[in-house]
Structure formats: structure tokens, C-alpha cells
């Protein structure tokens, strides 16, 4: 159950309206006029809350739930307990996300963290030449530099720095302790606490007697609807820009090097590192702790398994894994063969008896 100190739910919604929003069918025995007031997991949901079943692992919990309504695939409908209304969907988890957004819209887009939405704090520092749109929130300790522009309804969190000349679009959430420099950010972007955008890329001309710094003269371009997790770093380009495409979702603790180009709708999971000048096509997936060598291309739709080390270009739509990364079927065969070798008995000669 959502803690009301942190999460504010909207007024109750009839089950029929919920079904219409998510494109689900209502089981014949369910009351479309039944009022729902929130969402919760199967094990704690009450009679006025909506839950969901997506993973068959939780069918037993579904059979025991006290939820007032549950989003479920039709094949599990016969396991429902008495009194639970059913919303039938081919994609229960996706449908649940839409219901959760319905009840908690602020949490889907980010909201102020201090408690004074729509206000510029007296303890914030905003340069006289900066431009703020309507209903912008600037929380205590934040700073907005010369010539920066912040779009309407955007939140700039506590102790966050928006550097000179940067632009941030409409309806963004820039969380606490974020730094943004040399960057242009689109609409509906979420930067979670501790994100660093636009700092120098790791550019040095190496040699004796010292490594010479190469000025990083590019920018970071973050397109609309991007979400970047806590403590992720995005270096600005060395000359060309670093670009993150529309709708891409990036987890915590990811490193994105200078000149990297990331396409639309990509998923990049925690502790992944992408070296400079690498290119990702649209809808690429990098699982946790993937490493990507610089100056290569992972083409659209490709997926890299966790801890994969990408050292060559990856064709479109392919699944790769391993170190170095290779087609996933080949990698799995190698893992099986290595396991067999590990189980093979020792064959050394026994010492001769005297």
C-alpha cells in the first residue's frame, strides 16, 4: 500500500473506466460500477485496490488475494478467488502501469521534492538572464545559470545546477543534486538524483612527457521522454554531440562516454559502460554490466545479455552474450561445453607401486 505521506492518489475510479483506459475486458461476473481507489501487490491489496498477475510464479498468491480487482491474462482467470473482479488483458503488466499512472499521475512524471510546487525558492539562485516558463519549480539550493531556459511545469530539485546556456524543456523532472552543463534537454525528461550531464569527456592525447587534454567542444542532446537513473553520467561530445534518443530509458550507475549516439526507445540497465563514439540503433537493449567498446555500432533491435563485452559491431535484431560477445546460441553452447569439461574426471597416472 502506498504511503500517503509520499504518494497522493486521485479520487476513486469506477472499474469500467479503468477497463476502458487499459483496453481490458471485464469478466462477466464483475461489476463495472465498482469503485477502486488505488493499486497494490497481490499479497497486500484490499477490496478497493487493483492488483495484477503477470508472472506465473505468483499464481498461488493470485488465488489467495483479497484485491478488489486484478488485471490478469485470460488463461489464469479460472484461478481467481471469489469476490475479485477481473480485468482481462494480454499484457497485464503494461496494463497495470497505465492503472498506476491513473491513480498516481505525479509519480509517472516526477514531482517536487521539497513541498512548494510552482514556486522559485528564495534560497535558489537564478541568473537575471535566465528564462523560466510558467509554473516552474526551483527548489532551495538550486542554481540556474546565465542564459539558461527552463520550460513550463518543470521541476528543478534541491541543490541542482543548470549551467549557463543550457535548455530544459516542458514537464521535466530534474531531481536533487543533479548537474547539467553544455546540454539541451527535451520535454518530459526525468533525471533522477545525482545524474551528471555534460561534463568533459575522457579525452587526452596520450604520450611523453605528459598526456595533453583535448578540449571537449560538443554538447549533450537529450530528446523527449528520456528517463535517466540515479548517479548515471553522460559526457559531452568532443566535437560531435553526445545524443540520447527519444523514449530511451537508462538505469542507475551507467556511464555514457563522449560522442556516443543512442537511438530511440533503447533500454540500458545498471552498471553498463558505453565507450566514446559508440553508436546504438533504435530499441537496443543492454542488460546489466554490459561493456561496449568505442567506435562500434550496435544496430537497431539488438540485445546484449548481462555482462556481455561488445568488441565488434552487432547486426540488427540479433541477441549476443558472453566475453567477448557473440551470437547467443554460440555463447550458450560454449557455456555448456565448459561445464562438461569442469565435470570430467581427472585422468592423471597413478604412482607405480613398489
Could you tell me the end-to-end alpha-carbon distance of the chain, in angstroms, rounded to an integer? Answer: 76
What's the confidence (pLDDT) of residue 135? 97
* Marked catalytic residue, from 192, 211, 258, 295: 258
Q: Is 258 assigned a catalytic role?
A: yes
Write down the H helix ranges in 1-154. Answer: 15-22, 59-64, 92-103, 105-109
Q: What is the mean pLDDT of the chain?
A: 95
Phi, psi of 334 (to 5 degrees): -65, -40
What's the confidence (pLDDT) of residue 57? 95
| Band of residue 4 on the pLDDT scale cut at 50, 70, 90 | confident
Q: How many CA atoms lie within 13 A of 214 on its CB side?
A: 15
Q: What pLDDT digit, counting tens, does each position of 150-208 carry?
A: 999 999 999 999 999 999 999 999 999 999 999 999 999 999 999 999 999 999 999 99
Burial 138-163 (b: 16+ CB within 10 A, else e): bbebbbbbeebbbbebbbbbbbbbbb
What's the confidence (pLDDT) of residue 191? 98
**The pairing of beta strand 85-88 with beta strand 125-126:** unpaired
- Give the DSSP letter string of 160-188: -EE-TT-EE-TT-EE-TT-EE-SEEE-SS
Amino acid at each position: 500500500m502506498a504511503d500517503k505521506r509520499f504518494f497522493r492518489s486521485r479520487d476513486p475510479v469506477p472499474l469500467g473506466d479503468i477497463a476502458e483506459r487499459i483496453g481490458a475486458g471485464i469478466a462477466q461476473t464483475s461489476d463495472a460500477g465498482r469503485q477502486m481507489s488505488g493499486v497494490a501487490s497481490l499479497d497486500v491489496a484490499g477490496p478497493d485496490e487493483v492488483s495484477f498477475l503477470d508472472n506465473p510464479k505468483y499464481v498461488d498468491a493470485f488465488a489467495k488475494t483479497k484485491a478488489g480487482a486484478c488485471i490478469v491474462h485470460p488463461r489464469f482467470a479460472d484461478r481467481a478467488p471469489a469476490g475479485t473482479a477481473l480485468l482481462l488483458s494480454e499484457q497485464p503488466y503494461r496494463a497495470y502501469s497505465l492503472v498506476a499512472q491513473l491513480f498516481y499521475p505525479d509519480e509517472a512524471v516526477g514531482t517536487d521534492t521539497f513541498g512548494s510546487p510552482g514556486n522559485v525558492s528564495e534560497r535558489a539562485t537564478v541568473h537575471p538572464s535566465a528564462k523560466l516558463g510558467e509554473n516552474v519549480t526551483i527548489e532551495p539550493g538550486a542554481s540556474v545559470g546565465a542564459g539558461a531556459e527552463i520550460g513550463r511545469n518543470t521541476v528543478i530539485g534541491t541543490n541542482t545546477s543548470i549551467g549557463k546556456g543550457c535548455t530544459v524543456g516542458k514537464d521535466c523532472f530534474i531531481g536533487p543534486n543533479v548537474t547539467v552543463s553544455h546540454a539541451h534537454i527535451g520535454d518530459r525528461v526525468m533525471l533522477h538524483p545525482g545524474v551528471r550531464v555534460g561534463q568533459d569527456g575522457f579525452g587526452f592525447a596520450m604520450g611523453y612527457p605528459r598526456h595533453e587534454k583535448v578540449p571537449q567542444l560538443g554538447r549533450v542532446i537529450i530528446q523527449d521522454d528520456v528517463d535517466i537513473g540515479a548517479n548515471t553520467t553522460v559526457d559531452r561530445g568532443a566535437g560531435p554531440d553526445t545524443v540520447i534518443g527519444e523514449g530511451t530509458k537508462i538505469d542507475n550507475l551507467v556511464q555514457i562516454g563522449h560522442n556516443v549516439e543512442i537511438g530511440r526507445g533503447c533500454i540500458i540497465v545498471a552498471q553498463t559502460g558505453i565507450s566514446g563514439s559508440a553508436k546504438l540503433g533504435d530499441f537496443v537493449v543492454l542488460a546489466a554490466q554490459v561493456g561496449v567498446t568505442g567506435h562500434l555500432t550496435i544496430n537497431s533491435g539488438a540485445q546484449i545479455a548481462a555482462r556481455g563485452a561488445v568488441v565488434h559491431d552487432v547486426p540488427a535484431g540479433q541477441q549476443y552474450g558472453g566475453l567477448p560477445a557473440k551470437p547467443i546460441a554460440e555463447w550458450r553452447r560454449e557455456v555448456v561445453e565448459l561445464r562438461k569439461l569442469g565435470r570430467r574426471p581427472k585422468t592423471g597416472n597413478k604412482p607405480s607401486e613398489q
